[in-house]
Chain A
């Protein structure tokens, strides 16, 4: 019995060691980012694991070198609008798909499924020329409009709504509630976790995405955070790049999502497992 417990102990310690090593590997790039952001210019590429003295001034310099608040403002404004619009269109569509019986519903459902297969990388040329016809390129409209409807959002909401008992909706209808009232007062309050998941996942997704904002904007004052970050590399090509300032800026850029992730971890996990597991 004792030998068995010893073996179990050993296995557990082994597992801990493996996991701790892998977690360390996971954290290393982040650690190196912070370490470099704090390094004085002479110390950036030195072999010290930690700078001899910390140059907190780098953060101040990086903050003033680029209008980070402007970029962050652009990002927050457009992403919040995108998420609000997606929540609206997706909740309405999912309610229609789950709770209202009508002809052609299956067709609509498969049509939205089709939309999930089309990546932005394949359609940016027509979307660009369409928006430029209406003089919307380099405006907030260009950043927002393509994402107002979201197939992924519809799926996520639909999955959340499916677990709400249909009898509850029926009963409300018998009591004379309109579909709109049922959605706002009954269905959405019962789908709070799904709403939270949709909001967090899509906010982070759009905050992080580079491809479309890179194409749709072309002046500094319209830049969002990822585009501004990518300009660090393309502007100062290669060796002249001041890595400590770039990493300080990188810290600013990823801080919002890291904070959101730590606060709403449960919903991120739910989003990932919900999509893969349940239907």
Chain B
């Protein structure tokens, strides 16, 4: 409003009054943002900076002495086979989610988006697992994967296979974690894609059909391009979420057998909280943070959704 009437507000006292109001409003602005900023500083920024600091030392909770070692902890990570394994496991899990969970979620979204009768029931059931605590579903899946008498092995036997030691096997342990993650998160990504599908221009779909394009070519030339932003968002969120995988591993496998299902987050927890090797744990934390920061930065700079509209 005031911007629309600059001429009227030219007189001196008015201008002074305006400056006073500006100062006052910026005080209000800072006071209102302060509580959030103080708590974020105390519990996010300072701890993060302190982790970077700690990663340069060798220390543990038990003795107060800290020995400065510079980059040594990072060199140690580079050569430590258990860290390499944790990193490989985490990346493998992320790849599994991106290449299995996301396509499945996209297919589900397209099917649900056909709006047949009962769609809302399907949507509710498919999204449901997302709200269940991972500890709870981890416990359920531990039972399902039980070696003798678990439902999964029962089904394996029906198809003529031999029972598998799912959670105790060197390769199947991580696979079990992946299966739980797919069950837990696919419904969430389905909703992300469903939201994206609302942006697909209907007239383009129709004109593609009129031109004789089949279901497949409509999907490839109209639906998928329009979904590109949602796809990008889903991939990044999926990577961020998977890089932080902890609960599933803690409940189902405890990182075993022999580190075969240890993820990055579980490695940090194990080193820091169970072995009190704060230096190594902190260095690994910085690696995790760097990966997540890169991903978040990618998401923000490409999507522009969060930063836009800042007039």
A residues neighboring B (CB under 8 Å) = 12, 15-16, 18-19, 22-23, 26-30, 32-33, 36, 44-47, 88-90, 92-93, 95-97, 100-103, 105-106, 108-109, 111-119, 121-127, 129-130, 145-151, 154-155, 162, 167, 170, 174, 179, 204, 207-208, 210-211, 214-215, 225-226, 229-230, 232-233, 243, 246-247, 250, 253-254, 257-258, 260-262, 265, 268-269, 272-273, 276-279
B136 touches A229 (CB 8 A): yes
Contacts of B302 in A (CB 8 A): none
A122 touches B285 (CB 8 A): yes
Whole-angstrom distance from the CB of B20 to the nearest CB of chain A?
14
B125 touches A243 (CB 8 A): no
B300 touches A95 (CB 8 A): no
Contacts of A30 in B (CB 8 A): 140
Tell me the complex Cα distance, A122–B310, Å: 31
B133 touches A247 (CB 8 A): no
Tell me the complex Cα distance, A145–B138, Å: 27
Question: Does B255 sit at the interface, judged by CB under 8 A?
Answer: no
Interface string of B122-143 (1 = CB under 8 A from A): 1111111101111111111111
Q: Which 8 residue pairs are nearest across A and B when measured between Cβ atoms?
A: A45-B149, A149-B39, A102-B26, A279-B305, A273-B195, A208-B133, A123-B47, A122-B285
Interface residues of B in 24-42 (CB under 8 A from A): 25-26, 28-30, 32-33, 35-40, 42
11 contacts between A and B (CB under 8 A): A26-B183, A111-B37, A113-B296, A121-B246, A122-B48, A122-B51, A208-B133, A232-B139, A257-B133, A258-B132, A272-B192
Tell me the complex Cα distance, A106–B33, Å: 12
Of all chain B residues, the one with the shortest Cβ separation from A102 is B26
Known: A103-B26, A118-B44, A253-B135; 11 extra A-B contacts, CB below 8 A, are: A93-B32, A112-B40, A113-B300, A119-B244, A123-B44, A148-B43, A170-B1, A210-B133, A273-B192, A276-B192, A279-B308
Contacts of A262 in B (CB 8 A): 124
Contacts of B35 in A (CB 8 A): 88-89, 92-93, 148-149
Known: A16-B116, A32-B143. A233 touches B251 (CB 8 A): yes
Tell me the complex Cα distance, A106–B306, Å: 12
Whole-angstrom distance from the CB of A228 to the nearest CB of chain B?
9
Contacts of A149 in B (CB 8 A): 35-40, 43-44
A272 touches B278 (CB 8 A): no
Of all chain B residues, the one with the shortest Cβ separation from A253 is B136
Question: Does B292 sit at the interface, judged by CB under 8 A?
Answer: yes
Choice from B192, B199, B288, B307 contacting A119 with Cβ under 8 Å: B288
Contacts of B151 in A (CB 8 A): 28, 32
Choice from A101, A150, A250, A261 contacting B128 with Cβ under 8 Å: A261
Of all chain B residues, the one with the shortest Cβ separation from A145 is B43
B36 touches A146 (CB 8 A): no
Known: A26-B125, A32-B144, A121-B268. A179 touches B32 (CB 8 A): yes
Interface residues of B in 213-266 (CB under 8 A from A): 230, 233-234, 237, 244, 246-247, 250-251, 265
Of all chain A residues, the one with the shortest Cβ separation from B233 is A276
Whole-angstrom distance from the CB of A252 to the nearest CB of chain B?
10
SS of B interface (majority): helix
Stretch in contact with the other chain, from B106-114, B169-177, B202-210: B106-114
Choice from B32, B39, B46 contacting A148 with Cβ under 8 Å: B39
Interface centre among A125, A204, A273 (most CB of B within 10 A): A125
Of all chain A residues, the one with the shortest Cβ separation from B306 is A279
Of all chain B residues, the one with the shortest Cβ separation from A93 is B36
B residues neighboring A (CB under 8 Å) = 1, 22, 25-26, 28-30, 32-33, 35-40, 42-48, 50-51, 54, 61, 108, 111-112, 114, 116, 118, 121-129, 131-144, 146, 148-151, 154, 183, 187-188, 191-192, 194-196, 198-199, 230, 233-234, 237, 244, 246-247, 250-251, 265, 268-269, 272-273, 278, 281-282, 285-286, 288-289, 292-293, 296-297, 300, 304-310
Contacts of B199 in A (CB 8 A): 277
B39 touches A125 (CB 8 A): no
Contacts of B309 in A (CB 8 A): 162, 279
Contacts of A204 in B (CB 8 A): 131
B38 touches A269 (CB 8 A): no
Known: A229-B133, A279-B309. A96 touches B289 (CB 8 A): no
Contacts of A225 in B (CB 8 A): 133
Known: A119-B265, A126-B46. A254 touches B33 (CB 8 A): no
Contacts of A146 in B (CB 8 A): 43
B196 touches A226 (CB 8 A): no
Whole-angstrom distance from the CB of A167 to the nearest CB of chain B?
8
Contacts of B112 in A (CB 8 A): 19
A268 touches B44 (CB 8 A): no
Tell me the complex Cα distance, A215–B296, Å: 26
Contacts of B265 in A (CB 8 A): 119, 121, 211
Contacts of B191 in A (CB 8 A): 269, 272-273
B144 touches A100 (CB 8 A): no
Contacts of B285 in A (CB 8 A): 121-123, 125
Tell me the complex Cα distance, A118–B143, Å: 33
Contacts of A124 in B (CB 8 A): 269, 272-273
A253 touches B140 (CB 8 A): no
Contacts of B114 in A (CB 8 A): 12, 15
B142 touches A233 (CB 8 A): yes
